[in-house]
Amino acid sequence: MMKIKGVIIQGSSRSNGNTGKIVSFIQERTGFESIDLKSKKIGAFDYNFENEGDDFLPLMKEIVYNYDTLIFATPVYWYSMSGIMKNFFDRISDCLKTEKELGRMLRGKNMGMVSCGSDAELKKGFEMPFVESANYLGMNYLGNFHTWLENDLIPDSLKTELSIFLENQMMTSE
């Protein structure tokens, strides 16, 4: 089975919202597949690991066995990643406690982040949880790119900049 080079993991409360439009644009440019976290049942982190029957572990297995590059795509909610995305990151703790072999398989994989906000400014510090998670997990952090829409469309200048970022950061790391 040939490995698929990358996946975009979308964490938005609206599958077809602004972040979804950005994800579709990235897919067109990269050929990466996408996973919509809203379509999965992923419980909050539980110290007793009583949620092991949800979609998280099967999803993590799909991710680690099939993809080398992971792009996390999240809207900006209250100056932070979405709750759905935060839940997913919290659950990575399962891969450090009860599924250690699965967690170890994240080492050496590539991680990037794309945010989508209501304007062109991304507040300082937004990227930190992604950078530090990549560092902790032994992943290669490839960078971040902030996006927004104007009149429900991706501005042409942003499309150009995002395409360059994807080509330089996400597509050359294999």
φ/ψ bin of 40: left (φ > 0), alpha (ψ from -120 to 50), beta (otherwise): beta
- Residue 78 has φ and ψ, to the nearest 5°, of 50, 45
pLDDT of residue 79: 94
- For 92-146, the pLDDT digits (tens) are 999 999 999 999 999 999 999 999 999 899 999 999 999 999 999 999 999 999 9
Give the E-state strand segments of 17-161 in sequence order: 33-36, 67-75, 110-117, 140-148
* 4-170 fold: Rossmann fold (3.40.50)
Sign of the C-alpha dihedral, residues 3, 133, 23, 101? positive
Query: Is the model's pTM score more than 0.85?
Result: yes
pLDDT of residue 85: 98
Tokens at 112, concatenated? 């990037």
Domain ranges of the chain: 4-170
Report H helices in 31-127.
56-66, 83-91, 94-97, 100-104
- For 149-167, the pLDDT digits (tens) are 999 999 999 999 999 999 9
